[in-house]
Amino acid sequence: MDEFESSDAPDAAEEAGEAEQADVAGEAPQAEEAEEFEFPSLPSRLFNVFLSPGKVMEAIAQKPAWAGALLVGAFLVALQTALIPWDLVREMMIEAQRQAALEAGREAPVMPEAIMNVLRYATPVIGMIGITLFTFFFAGVYWLIFSFVLGDEGRYRQYLAVGTHALFVPAVIGLALVPVKIMTEDVSMTLNLGNFLLFLPEGYLSNVFRAMDLTGIWSALIIAQGAHAIDPKRSFGSAAVVTLGITLVQALIVAFFAS
C-alpha cells in the first residue's frame, strides 16, 4: 500500500508542476500585451503627430483621449491671434467692412471705438471657441460618414480624439507663421494651394485653391490614418479619399461665399 501511495506522489507533483507552467504561460502573453501598449503622454502624442502619426492614431484608437489635445490646440489658435498687433487686425476688419459695403452699394459703417476695444480682447477668445466648435462638429461629420454611411466600426469619441490631435498641425504651423504675417502685414496669409497657382485668373476656381490650406490637407491625411486605426478594414487610401473629399467640399463652399 505504501508503494502505491509513494508512486502516486510524483504523478501528483508532476501534474501540479504542469498546471503551474500552463498558468505562467497563460499570464505571459497578457503581461506582454500590457507592456506593449503603453499609452503615450500628451506631449509625446502631439510631437509624434508630425513624425509618426500612425503610431499616435493607433494609440488613441484604443484609448480615445481628446480633452488635453483640444485644450492645447485651441490655446495655440488663440495665441496666434493674440500675438498679431491689434492695429493690423483692426485694419483688416475695417477693410473687410469697406469691401462689403462697396459690393452692397452703400457707405461703409463706422465701427464705434468701444466695440473695437472689446473686440481687441474678445478676438482670441472667439477664435478659441470657434475652433472648439469646429472640431466637435467635424468629428460628428467623420463619425457619421465612416460609421453610418460606410459601415465602419468606431465611436464618436474616437473620431473626436483623432480630430483634436490632427488640429495640432495647423495650430503649430499657424503659430510659426505669425512673424511672417507681421513682417508682410498680411493677417489673412495662409499656406494654401493658390500660392503655387499664380497663373490662374481671379475667380471662383482661384478662390477654391486659396481655401485649400496645406495644413488642412495634412490634417485630413492624419484623420484618414485615424479612420484606418479605428477600423483596420478601412484602408488608409480609401479613408484619405473621404477626408480629402470633405476638405474639397469645404473649400468649394468657402470659395462660393468669397466670390
pLDDT of residue 233: 93
- Of 37, 32, 122, which is closest to residue 78 (Cα–Cα)? 122
- Of 245, 224, 248, 254, which is closest to residue 236 (Cα–Cα)? 224
pLDDT of residue 29: 44
- Of 169, 146, 150, 167, which is closest to residue 229 (Cα–Cα)? 146
Q: What grid cell was written down for 37? A: 501598449
- pLDDT single digits (tens) 66-125: 999 999 999 999 999 899 888 888 888 777 777 777 776 777 677 777 777 788 888 889
3-state secondary structure of 233: coil
Cell 473626436 belongs to 160
Q: What grid cell was written down for 80? A: 496666434
Taking CA 56 as the corner, what is the angle to CA 51 and CA 58, rounded to the nearest 5 degrees?
135
The identity of residue 206, as a single letter, is S
Ramachandran area for residue 186 (φ above 0: left; ψ -120 to 50: alpha; else beta): beta
Residues of the chain with pLDDT under 70: 1-37, 104, 108, 259
- So where are the chain's domains? 42-258
3-state secondary structure of 110: coil
Helix axes 236-258, 214-230, angle to 10 degrees: 140
Distance CA 80, CA 177 (A): 9
Q: What grid cell was written down for 187? A: 493677417
Other Cβ atoms less than 10 A from the Cβ of 89: the count is: 17
Distance CA 176, CA 80 (A): 9
Distance CA 226, CA 221 (A): 9
Distance CA 15, CA 66 (A): 50
